[in-house]
């Protein structure tokens, strides 16, 4: 289904042969994948693999060197209300005089000029959204004084209140402990299901996402492999992606991806070994 050509009515995002270069350096190469309405996709890769660049291309903040991005079947415009976004490393300034509920309200109309006009309808919408992310308790606190996990909830509410069809989250699990990771993942999955929003969540490791993830987009060295986790996260598939041998080890319900030895190069063992020595 996901791999068929053309835009089916339920397809929310189509990334086709996207390449991005900055001053001669290639960040993304021929990246293609699709996302159906309501799907939960994990965008998995290490630091510098190109996750943030890919998200910025999808949002239209970076123009791809080649390739296209379509959102709900249309070439994307510079601001697409169909996309909600939670940036990485939020760390809001504790001096910023703004309450959590005000920040959520800016998700409705923060791009408009002038001052916000609080109406009963706007307030009700904000209260409902705060409730959906379990943030009512600290709705009136100064947002910069909240913990990382609490700020995360507020940012998710901010991103979702304008009713997007696709939610992009850039490393929302960074700096959280295992319990915090599970809470955020469960929250995103639950709210996304309630509002029928597709999710593309960027993370280092896929284990926290395994219980909720429909598909994985694995990114390494600017290239991606996408599909069901069982198909993509295999020794063969990831070795092809990395261009060198990696071992995929399954322990209980968890997955470990381990780099192989230098002399276990995939196609040209000798040349890889020599390159390793040089």
Partner 1 sequence: MIRASIGSAIIEPGFFSSSPVQVALIVGSVAAFVSGVVGVFTVVRGQSFAGHSLADTGTAGGSAAFLLGVSPLYGFIVMNLIVAGVMELIGIRRPRGRDVATGIVLGAALGLAALFLYFDTTSTSTTGATINVLFGSIFTLPSSMVPVIVVLSALAIGVTLFLYRPLILSSLSSDLAAARGVSLRLVGIGFLVALALAVSLSAITIGAILSTALLIGPAATALRLTKRTGAAVVTAAVIGVGATWLGVLLAYDSYYWTPSHRGWPVSFFVVTVVFVFYLVVDFAAGHHATARRSVSRGAL
Judged by the rule CB under 8 A, the positions of this chain that interact with partner 1 are 59, 61, 78-79, 83, 85, 87, 90, 92-93, 95-99, 102-103, 106, 109-116, 140-142, 158
d(CA 1, CA 12): 13
d(CA 111, CA 109): 5
Nearer of residues 60 and 227 to partner 1, judged by Cβ: 60
Nearer of residues 83 and 132 to partner 1, judged by Cβ: 83
Measured from the CB of residue 235, what is the shortest distance to partner 1 in angstroms? 36
Nearer of residues 57 and 220 to partner 1, judged by Cβ: 57
Measured from the CB of residue 167, what is the shortest distance to partner 1 in angstroms? 11
Nearer of residues 41 and 167 to partner 1, judged by Cβ: 167
Q: How far is CA 45 from CA 1, 50, 157, 216, in A?
A: 25, 8, 25, 10
Measured from the CB of residue 168, what is the shortest distance to partner 1 in angstroms? 8
Measured from the CB of residue 185, what is the shortest distance to partner 1 in angstroms? 22
Q: Within its chain, how far is the Cα of 70 from the centroid?
A: 17
Nearer of residues 81 and 276 to partner 1, judged by Cβ: 81
Nearer of residues 141 and 212 to partner 1, judged by Cβ: 141
Measured from the CB of residue 116, what is the shortest distance to partner 1 in angstroms? 6
Give 11: exposed, middle or buried? Use CB within 10 Å, 0-12, 13-18, 19+.
buried
**Which among 260, 250, 258 has a CA at the least distance from the CA of 207?**
250
d(CA 197, CA 189): 9
Q: Which two tokens stand for residue 221?
A: 């060295």
Using an 8 Å Cβ cutoff, are 83 and 166 in contact? yes
d(CA 42, CA 186): 13
d(CA 213, CA 74): 26
Measured from the CB of residue 27, what is the shortest distance to partner 1 in angstroms? 17
């Amino acid at each position: 289904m996901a791999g068929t050509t053309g835009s089916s009515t339920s397809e929310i995002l189509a990334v086709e042969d996207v390449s991005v270069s900055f001053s001669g350096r290639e960040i993304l190469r021929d990246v293609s994948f699709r996302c159906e309405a309501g799907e939960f996709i994990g965008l998995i890769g290490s630091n510098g693999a190109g996750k943030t660049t890919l998200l910025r291309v999808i949002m239209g903040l970076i123009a791809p060197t080649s390739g296209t991005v379509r959102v709900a079947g249309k070439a994307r415009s510079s601001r697409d209300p169909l996309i909600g976004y939670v940036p990485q490393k939020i760390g809001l300034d504790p001096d910023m005089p703004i309450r959590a509920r005000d920040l959520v309200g800016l998700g409705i109309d923060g791009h408009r000029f002038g001052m916000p006009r609080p109406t009963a309808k706007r307030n009700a919408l904000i209260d409902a959204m705060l409730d959906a992310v379990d943030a009512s308790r600290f709705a009136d606190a100064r947002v910069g004084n909240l913990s990382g996990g609490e700020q995360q909830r507020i940012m998710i509410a901010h991103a979702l209140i304008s009713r997007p069809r696709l939610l992009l989250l850039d490393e929302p699990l960074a700096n959280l402990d295992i319990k915090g990771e599970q809470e955020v993942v469960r929250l995103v999955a639950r709210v996304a299901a309630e509002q029928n929003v597709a999710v593309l969540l960027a993370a280092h490791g896929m284990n926290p996402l395994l219980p909720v993830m429909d598909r994985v987009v694995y990114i390494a060295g600017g290239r991606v492999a996408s599909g069901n986790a069982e198909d993509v996260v295999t020794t063969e598939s990831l070795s092809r992606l990395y261009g060198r041998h990696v071992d995929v080890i399954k322990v209980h319900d968890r997955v470990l991806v381990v780099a192989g030895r230098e002399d276990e190069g995939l196609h040209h063992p000798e040349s890889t070994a020599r390159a390793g020595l040089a």
